[in-house]
Structure 1
């Protein structure tokens, strides 16, 4: 009996793909031109699932990962056949488990049983949207895990805040000994005990950016002002994302904050910036590109963008979490800002945590208000300047991800993954002196904490001659130890700080000398996994 074509097969909804209707319905939408060309990313199943229980204890080489956990060849074969039938061109990347399909809107609508419309957002931008489910032929169910890019509305926002009281000067260079309530990244690191002359030579820090850009002249001027070597900063385009300036009040502030904090804390590290569109597709493709970048080989990935968990489709959340799980298996640390809008994460009601910070495979970074001088911390409390409209650290309990095993001893997280894991200076009032588009600004937000910790971990990696990788189990095993400054005062709205872990500042801010000792010792004991035979997969039928 001949095989059914994909078009002739029964269709069922792809789990987790549902998009809710737009507020107000479709009165303000118009059909997308049927001949317009678009590209979507199809995420397919692995050959074998990763062993989540071994993360942090063992790691895979890239060869082992490719042999055991890259895309199932049968899944790739099936998706390529599906693409051919619907007149879609295809480009597969087995390591990323991604097949990018390009074709007309008409063919995409037929292939995925969706209707694509244009929607004018409040900001005047026009986005391509869909609602309801993506429906797949029955033979692709269980093979395809996500289809991203049919809808290109913005997915995330950057988590930085420009201090309103800070002077904006176009010509002055930030001075390494500036004395006021703000700090250079070097001064923050010194307050946390980073030893003088620490280096991260040989390390690569990846930064995920969904907008904005950097200017080499600003980077040069900034680091010369700090009397530090000018870092090597490379831009990588993902899904046609570009290093494109949009001004100091736009995403340029995020990009420059990330570069300047990470590189100042970790001199000698190479900085690679992955620019992608601000969509769920762009976000996930940027992370998978960084994780599997065999040319730049980042050991740390810092993410300062995110959005409330329930603003993501389940398929996109799962795909991003799986990408971070792959990073953990390969010994790459992924960090993310916990958000700047307190326990509500900017939602109109209830408590929400920010994603991807809430992924259990991400080190979630919350915020504090830090005051000090030289190497002496005078005070450190939860960042909450809501009264001054300057934000507050995100944090809370996930309603999507279960409590990880390494949080099992924390009663507050019994109902779900607790956020954040760690913290650092984030209050714009005690923020970071940075240079953006020729202006010197003071910027805060948990966006600064992710690259701060990324820089510290890059220093640890350089000193230990290996990567610390998935650090959460080791950090939580040290809960209450001298590796952290325990933050016990303040709140982020619904949650209060207290002894040990809390949903405002996690385990606390870093006591760097002790943290380096803890992680360098544990990194040296992490073992590569022994090769396992790859299970055979049967060819999928089409």
Structure 2
């Protein structure tokens, strides 16, 4: 089986012109301080140092033990991308023949010789290479040693800094160096800093009983706290999926990426209040799990939104890790290596200009692995409109969010019903006439400064004169279109919120039944839609972007998407077909579930005059 798949990959490379997207490995740059036989790994300094203050009075003990990781390059990346294209192509013999657990490492992982060369360097530098634990990725080599040995190994100095927000963290202040013999093998080093590397995308979450007098109660949740599960299902047309298809997402496993702990009993209260099935929760702790519960409201919101639409799910895997670049990468690789979750959501991110490029490169490998295994993953696009660095102190810089901007990720933006539609206590309100659903001004969206537009991102509205960018803007050859986000969207406005429940004492925002909002809500809802689609199609559908852009056409919209054409996110306007505020649009879940995975000619209906037969 392994040989036949490898032959198929080789044939694809030989027969296909490949559009290479994404970041290549780092280019070696020599400078006066680089010894002969060594190279510098660029982009391996915590970018938050630009706004941080060196704490000279707080020296780092040179004998303190620390853990670092080498990120190894993927072999045959062009083959991997071509293979993924074929896996999602209904006309390919490889269609939906997802790689089994371990297959990705066998075909695209580092060789034994490459691994041994990297380990030899670490050991010869006085570091201890740790045994690979279950669930660890073949692309990561973990080592431990004193601060002194780490500094000497990579020719760096590690010191304490205080960030603009007052947080204290350690970091190297220069890029590390490695032997030239490891060029093309090692693409990044993680663990040289422990600065917070991601932030939750939930926004004005607030207790429903303490809203300002200017904001009325909304929806049918307790105390007017927002939309209930039955209202979400009715508005976005999931009811016939339950009634006609008897599909509640059964047999599917959902996954969540989290950087905070939570209180499981909060989820039980939510389920009991809305008479939902108790979906089993499985906590999977990476690197010891989250260090606190300060983002408990985020975790509760994500879990409750998945259950709201996919209450028949077999289980929800709640992955948790500390919030630093090393542990974030470890968690994404753990999700990929486990290969247990069919659909995954992440509501934690950081604006691209401040994200660690080594972390981005490593994450990209994990997301490519997920796509090759048929796992569907969705990321919140951010809640600061077109200016994603706003929370980090730059309110005017046009920027998008990582990981939503990654090419092997479905970025989820936000819409709004505020001021145009409130279902009140009606449990089955249906979808209101357009333009009642309009663009939310907080919906993260825009143009990536890192990635080229993937081959799947095509269709009406994708190239928008005056707003789309090409070439050097995203580090690509002239004329190459840059990646745009979001891909899809769903209601996310704090003024048309979802009802949620959280009482975790570790998060002072948790006050019982309260508003849940932001793209933090829309991303897990989309992962629940993926669970419904997987159940109906009796198998994984893979990265949704490969299919949804085929529906970015007149015949696709009227059955599958609501085309959001009103509003903006502070810079980019909503408009017909694709736009950089709401993507392709918000879903008609029944239409989407029943059309997903079918070849384009099978999506045509007799009454679709625009359909190509």
TM-score of the two chains, using structure 1 as the length reference: 0.87
Aligned with 2:276: secondary structure? coil
Please report how far the alpha carbon of residue 190 of structure 1 lies from its aligned counterpart in structure 2 after TM superposition: 2.2
Quote the residue 1:142 is aligned against.
Answer: 184
Please report how far the alpha carbon of residue 490 of structure 1 lies from its aligned counterpart in structure 2 after TM superposition: 0.4
Corresponding position: 1:272 with 2:345: no
Structure in which a larger fraction of residues adopt strand: 1
Quote the residue 2:579 is aligned against.
Answer: 502
Within the candidate set 323, 344, 358, 2:387 is matched to: 344
Corresponding position: 1:205 with 2:254: yes
Quote the residue 2:202 is aligned against.
Answer: 160
Query: 5 Å matches for 1:46-65?
Result: 46-49=74-77, 50-55=79-84, 56-57=88-89, 58=95, 59-65=98-104
Please report how far the alpha carbon of residue 474 of structure 1 lies from its aligned counterpart in structure 2 after TM superposition: 1.1
Whole-Å Cα distance in 2 between the matches of residues 24 and 119 of structure 1?
6
Per-residue Cα deviation, 1:185-242 (whole angstroms, up to 9, x for no partner): 442132100135331122111111112x221221111101111111111111112223
Quote the residue 1:484 is aligned against.
Answer: 561
Please report how far the alpha carbon of residue 85 of structure 1 lies from its aligned counterpart in structure 2 after TM superposition: 1.2
Whole-Å Cα distance in 2 between the matches of residues 45 and 244 of structure 1?
32
Whole-Å Cα distance in 2 between the matches of residues 139 and 353 of structure 1?
35
Contact 1:163 1:429 in 2 (8 A): no
Aligned with 2:501: secondary structure? strand
Please report how far the alpha carbon of residue 282 of structure 1 lies from its aligned counterpart in structure 2 after TM superposition: 1.6
Quote the residue 1:31 is aligned against.
Answer: 59
TM-score of the two chains, using structure 2 as the length reference: 0.77
Corresponding position: 1:445 with 2:445: no
Please report how far the alpha carbon of residue 69 of structure 1 lies from its aligned counterpart in structure 2 after TM superposition: 1.6
Within the candidate set 116, 130, 148, 1:77 is matched to: 116
Quote the residue 1:536 is aligned against.
Answer: none
Per-residue Cα deviation, 1:112-154 (whole angstroms, up to 9, x for no partner): 1111111123444321112221111111111111111111101
Whole-Å Cα distance in 2 between the matches of residues 394 and 175 of structure 1?
24
Structure 2 CA distance for partners of 1:243 and 1:187, relative to 1, 3 Å: farther
Per-residue Cα deviation, 1:72-99 (whole angstroms, up to 9, x for no partner): 2222111221221122222347744111
Structure 2 CA distance for partners of 1:337 and 1:28, relative to 1, 3 Å: farther
Report the aligned-residue RMSD.
Answer: 2.5
Quote the residue 1:242 is aligned against.
Answer: 290
Aligned with 2:232: secondary structure? helix
Quote the residue 1:226 is aligned against.
Answer: 274
Per-residue Cα deviation, 1:422-446 (whole angstroms, up to 9, x for no partner): 0001001111111111611112000
Aligned with 1:260: secondary structure? helix
Structure 2 CA distance for partners of 1:168 and 1:102, relative to 1, 3 Å: farther
Please report how far the alpha carbon of residue 506 of structure 1 lies from its aligned counterpart in structure 2 after TM superposition: 0.2
Aligned with 1:440: secondary structure? strand
Please report how far the alpha carbon of residue 520 of structure 1 lies from its aligned counterpart in structure 2 after TM superposition: 4.3
Corresponding position: 1:359 with 2:371: no
Q: Which moved more, 1:417-426 or 1:265-274?
A: 265-274
Please report how far the alpha carbon of residue 9 of structure 1 lies from its aligned counterpart in structure 2 after TM superposition: 6.6
**Structure 1 residue ranges without an equivalent (≥5):** 1-6, 385-391, 526-542
Structure 2 CA distance for partners of 1:519 and 1:128, relative to 1, 3 Å: same
Quote the residue 2:608 is aligned against.
Answer: none
Aligned with 1:167: secondary structure? helix
Contact 1:304 1:337 in 2 (8 A): yes
Quote the residue 1:97 is aligned against.
Answer: 139
Query: 5 Å matches for 1:103-502?
Result: 103-164=145-206, 166-167=208-209, 180=224, 182-195=226-239, 197=242, 198-211=247-260, 213-242=261-290, 244-246=292-294, 251-269=295-313, 270-294=315-339, 297-345=340-388, 346=390, 347-370=394-417, 371-373=421-423, 374-378=428-432, 379-384=436-441, 392-409=442-459, 410-412=462-464, 413=468, 415=470, 416-437=482-503, 439-480=512-553, 481=556, 482-502=559-579
Please report how far the alpha carbon of residue 414 of structure 1 lies from its aligned counterpart in structure 2 after TM superposition: 5.2
Within the candidate set 40, 43, 49, 1:13 is matched to: 40
Please report how far the alpha carbon of residue 107 of structure 1 lies from its aligned counterpart in structure 2 after TM superposition: 0.9
Q: Which moved more, 1:232-241 or 1:284-293?
A: 232-241
Quote the residue 1:538 is aligned against.
Answer: none
Per-residue Cα deviation, 1:26-84 (whole angstroms, up to 9, x for no partner): 36574321111111121112343243134223432234323212232222111221221
Please report how far the alpha carbon of residue 11 of structure 1 lies from its aligned counterpart in structure 2 after TM superposition: 1.9
Contact 1:175 1:226 in 2 (8 A): no
Structure 2 CA distance for partners of 1:8 and 1:179, relative to 1, 3 Å: closer
Per-residue Cα deviation, 1:283-330 (whole angstroms, up to 9, x for no partner): 111111011115xx0111211011110101322211112211111111
Aligned with 1:377: secondary structure? coil
Structure 2 CA distance for partners of 1:206 and 1:284, relative to 1, 3 Å: same
Structure 2 CA distance for partners of 1:120 and 1:253, relative to 1, 3 Å: same
Please report how far the alpha carbon of residue 163 of structure 1 lies from its aligned counterpart in structure 2 after TM superposition: 4.2
Contact 1:29 1:119 in 2 (8 A): no
Whole-Å Cα distance in 2 between the matches of residues 365 and 96 of structure 1?
30
Q: Which moved more, 1:375-384 or 1:300-309?
A: 375-384
Contact 1:188 1:425 in 2 (8 A): no
Aligned with 1:452: secondary structure? helix
Please report how far the alpha carbon of residue 372 of structure 1 lies from its aligned counterpart in structure 2 after TM superposition: 5.0
Contact 1:231 1:268 in 2 (8 A): yes
Aligned with 1:365: secondary structure? strand
